[in-house]
A = this chain, B = another copy of it.
């Protein structure tokens, strides 16, 4: 298992790519959640797989769109 150093390049095998996507999506969302809790930060993650599916995570109370809007406002005001 984990036979060698992982090379970061596109996984050509479709099944492997989808499995890896699913696993790493879970890992990324978990990391995002942890960062939000540990550091009291607002976090949003968007994923758009090459099969055309959307996945997102946000720890904002009011959801991703509100988080995005608040950030745009903050940029606008800065």
Q: A residues bordering B, Cβ < 8 Å?
A: 8-11, 17-18, 20-21, 24-25, 27-28, 31-35, 37-50, 52, 54, 56, 67-68, 70-71, 74-75
Contact = CB atoms under 8 A, between A and B. Distances in A.
**Copies, count:** 2
A39 B52 contact: no
A48 B41 CA distance: 6
Contacts of A31: 24, 27-28, 31
Contacts of A48: 41-43, 67, 70-71, 74
Contacts of A42: 46-48
B50 A24 contact: no
Contact of A39 (B20, B32, B37, B75): B20
